[in-house]
Structure 1
Amino acid sequence: MSRKPDLSHPDDQQLVRQHSPLVGKIARSLAHNMPPNVLTDDLVQDGMLGLIDAIIRTTRETSGAEFEHYLAQRARGAMIDGLRALDPATRQVRRSMRLVEQTLQQLGHQLGRAPAEGEVAQAMDMALEDYRQLLQQAHGYLLVSLDDLAENADMHGYLEQCAGSDTDPLVLLERSVFRKALASSLRALNAQMQELLNLYYVEEHKMHEIGTRMGLSESRVSQLHASAIAGLRAQLLDAEQNQQLLQPRRAVR
């Protein structure tokens, strides 16, 4: 019989101590590509709150790679929430970027391909320079999370639901079509955006380093990054995919 999680319990205290280094690692990685005013210590503080909340809430096996993956997702999510709260303009920028995503979806269906910046700006009745300025403001706009894919905004986070069940979150993720949909969405981006995302997220270069390598200004790299992320989100959040995205594959008999 499982006990009710309680941070005053020695086992939970031990879990916090055991996984604290994971929070620091995630914070340092995230801070690497953030503006100088974003302090690693602040990210760690937010991440620790997410870690503690995850440990208190979980009712599943508290060991193994799957549990650590779950904790990492929750800690990183708490850091992202903290970053969003720092900037009072973030909410307006996110609303504007949602409109960009909707426009990208509509144009993608109409054109049968990824639309160019000029086409998106025209569809939004914006000057190209104003559209690029919006992308510049959306520098911190981050990659889609599983919670963003939930059809019902009031439902609990997907990973949290998994943690309360008998099925490992990582197993569900691997059995879902999410990876396939993400790969397909990445392939739909043009070569320049694919290279930019690879340099930023895989090789972990900073914006100015990417600009030097690609022969672009740092501000232009920032704009293209936001545009690429909006394009990914538009495809991942497409209604035709969203009905299947969180459905685990049936086991092959």
Structure 2
Amino acid sequence: MKLTGREREEFALRYLPLVKYVVSRFYIKETGTISKEDLFHWGIVGLMEAIDRFDEKRGIRFEVYAIKRIEGAIKDALRKEDILTRGQREKYRQLIEVIDSLEEGELDEKNIADRLGVDLVTYWELLEDINPVIVSSIEELLEGKGFEIPDSRELIEDKVENEELLDALGKAIKKLNDRERHILSLYYYEGLSLKQIGTILGITESRVSQLHAQIILKLRRMIKGEWE
């Protein structure tokens, strides 16, 4: 998109609410090393990239394109930031090892916590700590499976080319319980923030973050099971 400096600035101000919307969908623990202000800054970078690179000829609405760019910029920054302590990173490694060793019917919170050797409260705190690392999107779940997925900034449409992987994801989602599927639907299809989902379900934003992380971990394990 070719704009003068003034037009570019005015365009950015007009679409600044998109950055606020995207940031609202990320849960960041208040005691963590990353703040909402950090996310907002990274989101603005993504918005400016969207303005500079948007091509009207592609037939995609700017809002759709910009949201993907903003999300991508934030996710890329989170990947580069070392937001976990050494202890948290070790716990994360242990968590993945435990989950990979379990059968599908054993993927409940209590069982995972027991296998980790911690109580439920400690496990929930761990899910909150690692939430920005593992659950920013379903696309990253698919990336974690080891398939070639384009950079998140290039995911202009919500689809994945690998039909077999989509089939595995669909089967895994069907195995979730009603509440878990409801949370996924509210977050990924209706575009609600974790806070809004918490209001609907009558639980805190923090608890939704924990459940969301647990769901993604379960999906990751079930998809892996489909491909073993």
Interval of TM-score (by shorter of Structure 1 and Structure 2): 0.5 to 0.7
Match for residue 222 of structure 2 among 217, 235, 239: 235
1:87, distance to aligned residue in structure 2 (A)? 6.5
Question: Any gaps of 5 or more consecutive residues in structure 2?
Answer: none
Map 1:76-155 onto structure 2 (within 5 A). Answer: 76-83=71-78, 88-89=83-84, 93=88, 96-108=91-103, 112-113=104-105, 115-140=107-132, 141-145=135-139, 148-149=143-144, 151=146
Who is 1:204 aligned against? 192
- Any idea what SS the aligned residue of 2:167 has? helix
- Any idea what SS the aligned residue of 1:138 has? helix
Cα distance per residue 1:167-207 (max 9 Å; x no partner): x9869834633332322222222222222233333250442
Tell me how far apart the structure 2 counterparts of residues 70 and 98 of structure 1 sit (CA, whole Å). Answer: 34
Who is 1:27 aligned against? 19
Aligned residues: 213
Tell me how far apart the structure 2 counterparts of residues 171 and 193 of structure 1 sit (CA, whole Å). Answer: 20
Question: Any gaps of 5 or more consecutive residues in structure 1?
Answer: 1-9, 56-60, 243-253
Is 1:45 the counterpart of 2:60? The answer is no
Q: Is the 8 A contact 2:187 2:197 kept in 1?
A: yes
Q: Is the 8 A contact 1:70 1:169 kept in 2?
A: yes
TM norm structure 2 = 0.64
1:120, distance to aligned residue in structure 2 (A)? 0.8
1:118, distance to aligned residue in structure 2 (A)? 1.3
Tell me how far apart the structure 2 counterparts of residues 103 and 80 of structure 1 sit (CA, whole Å). Answer: 26
Q: Is the 8 A contact 1:23 1:47 kept in 2?
A: no
What residue identity is the alignment partner of 1:143?
S
1:26, distance to aligned residue in structure 2 (A)? 5.0
Q: Is the 8 A contact 2:127 2:213 kept in 1?
A: yes
1:88, distance to aligned residue in structure 2 (A)? 3.2
Q: Given the superposition, is the C-alpha separation of residues 83 and 38 from structure 1 closer, same or farther in structure 2, using an over 3 Å criterion? A: farther
TM norm structure 1 = 0.59
Q: Is the 8 A contact 2:23 2:43 kept in 1?
A: no
Cα distance per residue 1:124-163 (max 9 Å; x no partner): 22223221221132343422435734749xx8x6359xx8
Cα distance per residue 1:92-138 (max 9 Å; x no partner): 64664454344223212xxx425211111122222232212211323
Who is 2:182 aligned against? 195
Tell me how far apart the structure 2 counterparts of residues 227 and 145 of structure 1 sit (CA, whole Å). Answer: 16
Tell me how far apart the structure 1 counterparts of residues 182 and 123 of structure 2 sit (CA, whole Å). Answer: 22
Q: Given the superposition, is the C-alpha separation of residues 76 and 220 from structure 1 closer, same or farther in structure 2, using an over 3 Å criterion? A: closer
Tell me how far apart the structure 2 counterparts of residues 65 and 94 of structure 1 sit (CA, whole Å). Answer: 42
Identity %: 23
Is 1:181 the counterpart of 2:168? The answer is yes
Q: Given the superposition, is the C-alpha separation of residues 114 and 193 from structure 1 closer, same or farther in structure 2, using an over 3 Å criterion? A: farther
